[in-house]
Structure 1
Amino acid sequence: AVIAASSQAPSSQVAPHGGPSAGRLGEVMRFLRRAITPPVVATLAGVVVGTTPLHAVLVADGAPLRVVYAALRTLGQAAIPISVVLLGANLSSGPDYAAIRPSLAVGIALTRM
């Protein structure tokens, strides 16, 4: 009888594990997943390295792990050109002109010229 009663309850009335605070925690976690992007992680890592003794190990002249820093810097320098190439590839196919108004399609075509 308990199983049947719980399966009939609407999902909006069933409290998540942990009650209302668990819902807020879920919202915070969803926000963090969207907000913490690779550029944000890289920025935070740069702040940590630049403000701690890791700077002397990775970045400073004569640092023992300067090779690691140089490799990461080379990869980072390629990020913007790769992003531009990907943007161009995505824009090259253009929109589906059958799905938009003809006046908008003409405006897009004139802008691309």
Structure 2
Amino acid sequence: MESQYYVNFLRDLLSLDEAVRTEASDRVQDFVNLLSDTQARVVGDLIAMLAPHEESRVALEALLHALSDLDGCGKLEDVDLSPLGEIPKPLIRVEHRVYMDSFAQRIAGSE
């Protein structure tokens, strides 16, 4: 993926605006196959680190879905998912559970 677009995408993931963060997470499915292994690892690690600090239910679901998109394309292998274990249990809602369950073994294996 072109570096300027990639850097702008990373900035959007870190935005203070919930809508921008959510939209950036949703875009992962559009370009997941364009990411190099290094780019995918950086995105995956960043998303895993951001998820425990996300206060929006919608944005958290988008982050977890982005990780699922990376996983579905085999681009999550070297990503450290252990930070997902830091998501406060009360913040994990029904819409998040399927993602958390699918990553549970990797979260536990990293701790």
Using structure 1 for the length normalisation, give the TM-score: 0.26
Q: If you compute each CA radius of gyration, which structure gives the higher value, 1 or 2?
A: 1
**Bigger fraction of residues in helix:** 2
Higher relative contact order (CA 8 A, sep 6+): 2
